[in-house]
Structure 1
Amino acid sequence: MNGPLWMSIAFVGCMLIGVPIPWAAGVATVIGLHIIDIPFTLLSQTAYNAFESFPLMTIPLFVLAGKLMEKGGMSEHLIHIARKMVGSLRGGTSLVTIVSCGLFASLTGSGPATTAAIGSITIPAMVDEGYPKKFASGISASSGALGSIIPPSNLLIIYALIAEESVPKLFLAGLVPGFMVILFLILTSTTVCRVSGFGGKVDDDFSFRPLLRALWEGKWAIGAPLIILGGIYSGIFTPTEASAVAVFYGLFVGIAVYKKLTVGNVIESLKFTTTMVGTVLVILGSTKAFGQLVAFYDIPLAVQGFFTGFTDNPFLVLMMISFLYILAGMWMESIPQVVIFTAVLLPVVKSMGVDPIFFGVLTVLTCEVGFLTPPIGVNLFVSSRIAGISLEESSVGVLPFVVPYIATITILCAMPWLTTGVVEMFFK
């Protein structure tokens, strides 16, 4: 019997009738195991091995740290800094949203969390200033997606676990693409505002003195990424230890410095983290077993033959894979997408000489586009709820801001050294 065929039919069929991705992967895995007569204990053993990974601890700790920092008032200080940086330009509040999300992304590692933290403040401000609600929702959703590429990124951590690659290298490789997306988002937002005739300045002409004052007032907020990433790359602590440091830093600043973190906020942050991590573990356990079975059936070899049947040009293959990821992201959540497709496609691109660190960054970038596409666009749900509009309206508003991500993906596929070059400078 054709195991891969029946697994594919089961997986797709389950998704079409609304079965959650983890259970769909589990059903497909059970069918694959039954066909080749492997004990079903492989599911539990694989899940246990996935949960046993020490770097997995970084995800709940970074999620908790980001939530504590949000509740502790750091997001407000980051928005104030961003306002002094770009508030004097056309479309000031939209640009403040982009820069604030970029800054907050370095605290949390989650796209939806970044959208919620910054969008809850800037979307109402943009609406009050006359921006269309769909534009405000679109720019917040697209900027919030930066939380998944700018380190510390939960998706990069998950990719590192599946691909058995270095978390610090992946974090470092995500910096240049993150800055590229920020730049392209700023250019797109400024162009849309000029053409459409909305969005004025929200601050006086740029001056270094107010910016320096804002930086000083927000020194505890901008100190978080400096301590986290600085500690990792200086060798003071590992990424897992850095996530624990981030939690204590968030507690200290929120309670002792900004004095906005209450017992209720801490409990709410713990509940949010528990829900988030529980979801991640369920997804990771079943999809990791599915990925192992995919490798057992030599599906990557068949996929490689499919791509090379069209072309053996690495750039074209990477663009085809990116299109596949974006298409799948319209229907799949990002975590199972990373786990399943990494198991299938990483061996394919490695055989073509593609650096797995670069491929991890490309994977996460394409997943970010999935955050912005219905019907599973998580960022769109968050931003549309804040703006008080339908998902359809939010989807229209985000369309111009998908272009910066597509442009970044295309440039990186053509010039992978933009990511790997930075890594090689630090890890010789």
Structure 2
Amino acid sequence: MIVAALSTGELLLFATVLCVVLFAIGIPIYLVFGFWGLVYHATSASFPISNIATEHYAVLQTFPFTAIPLFILVGDLIYESGIAEDVVEFTRETIGWWPGSTGNTAIGTASIFSAITGSNAATTASVGNALYPQMEDEGYEDTYAAGTIAAGGVLGAIIPPSILLIIYGVAFGVSIVELFKAGIAPGIGMLIVLVGINTYYSKRNSYGSQTSRGIDPLEAVKAAWNAKIGIGTIVILLGGIFAGIFTPTESAAVAVIYILALSVGTGRITSFEQIVRASFSSLLLLGVIIPMVVTSVLIQQSMSNLGLQTLIANAVIGLQHPYLILFAILAIIWIAGTVMDATPNLLLTAPMLAPAAAEIGWGPIVWGMIFMMGDSVGFITPPYGLNLYIISGIAEIDYIRVARAVVPYLLGLVGVWIGYAVIHLYV
């Protein structure tokens, strides 16, 4: 009776407050979004209830979205076939001989896994399982080791091919290939900063090996040969896309066939059960991503119809000075990324701030990279910090302790992000 007596505006306000409470107590965000979207459609003359079904269908019919399950499957097959161990050894031979040894190996491995899986969560979990115990054995403080791995996992959102970049490209009609190309420079910049920070702290605290033995070309070649399936996967994924031979979806499909053929041929995969396990894991993750995408699109449409996106964009543009607009944009991205998962943040916040980004000269490709760099920083920023949760679970360390240890890396990545944004005020 009370709900029936409320006006449309009051009902939406009540639903918004209720959604905030539901989110705060841990209800999955796509259910929270879905509930709010259902209430809005039920009370709006502009969007009938049938729009929910038609919009879900329209989003899922977008061809480039088929790349997402394939990229996830690539990562799961890499893990299931044991190729990850060879990638770790290859990274150790090429970058792990610097002071900080295994810490740099973890960061370098994260960059390679990023180029294979396209996922920060998968990268953090894979590198954490492979290298955290060894970092502990080599004298790294447990929280520092966990923080290093969590920070390396950030690269999964930036270094191509990135699942989040695919979602951005599909949602906003931007070339995925151009986004992948644009992700190379900031991805390398973030990698260099992370390695530099780890090298400094490792030398200061005597973590790992402190003597630079230099690279052994023969051992590096042997490690590269042993990691040929993983390296070949990167060549297929990125080489095929950048050379214009494959679309992202086609390159992912070819990579799946390539991994399966060589893994079965070399005895790394010996049973059909392993393939089923990898496929099932991919379906589970896909079942998390797709509902978030479609419900976020519904929320985006609803907010646009209410005029909230225009209101927020105009408020930021009203600051007038380019640097004030820039730092307002970055602050909003970072704050949103600390409390919201990357996908809904991307689909909700990016379109709201896009007019302000255009006002200071950022085109859709540059804006996509700036947004994704900020979104990825949220992976290691409390209170959400997905990578922090993943590694704290693997290492069995309190979340807050890991969050404190990751601060130097967080500041370094924020520095790269701000630098990239400022440079593109003039480029």
Partner of 2:173: 164
Correspondence 1:18-417 to 2 at 5 A: 18-37=26-45, 38-201=47-210, 204-257=213-266, 259-260=268-269, 262-313=271-322, 315-416=323-424
Q: What CA distance in whole angstroms lies between the structure 1 residues aligned with 2:133 and 2:179?
A: 35
- CA shift for structure 1 position 8: 5.0
Report how far residue 20 of structure 1 moved.
Answer: 2.3
CA gap of 1:261–1:66, structure 2 versus 1, over 3 A, is farther
Report deviation, 1:332.
1.1
Q: Which moved more, 1:8-17 or 1:207-216?
A: 8-17
Q: Is the 8 A contact 2:317 2:356 kept in 1?
A: no
Pair 1:248–1:318, CA change in 2 (3 A): farther
Q: Out of 250-259 and 183-192, give the one that drifted further.
A: 250-259
Which TM-score applies when normalising by structure 1? Answer: 0.91
Distance 1:121 1:258 in 2: 21
For the 8 Å contact 1:150–1:174, the answer to whether it is kept is yes
Q: Distance in 2 between matches of 1:305 and 1:3?
A: 25
Q: Shift of the alpha carbon at 1:32? A: 3.0
Which of 167-176 and 342-351 deviates more?
342-351
**Which residue number corresponds to residue 4 of structure 2?**
none
- Secondary structure in 1 aligned to 2:222? helix
Cα distance in 1, alignment partners of residues 11 and 373 from structure 2: 28
Alpha-carbon contact 1:163-1:342 (below 8 Å) kept: no
1:330 is paired with a residue whose SS is: helix
Deviation at 1:117, TM superposition (A): 1.2
Question: What letter matches 2:391 in structure 1?
Answer: S
Residue 406 of structure 2: SS of its match in structure 1? helix
Point out which structure has higher relative CO (alpha carbons under 8 A, 6+ apart).
Answer: 1
1:161-197 Cα shifts (integer Å, max 9, x gaps): 1111111111111111110010000111111112223
Distance 1:108 1:18 in 2: 27
Alpha-carbon distance between aligned partners in 2 of 1:258 and 1:417, rounded to the nearest angstrom: 52
Alignment RMSD (CA, Å): 2.2
Q: After superposition, give the CA deviation of every residue in 1:100-157 in whole Å (9 maximum; x if it has no partner).
A: 1111111001111111112211110000011111011000111012111111111111
For normalisation by structure 2, the TM-score amounts to 0.92
Equivalent-residue separation in structure 2 for 1:10 and 1:416 (angstroms):
40
Question: Separation in 2 of the partners of 1:351 and 1:84?
Answer: 47
Count matched residues. Answer: 418
1:348–1:14 CA distance, 2 compared to 1 (3 A):
farther
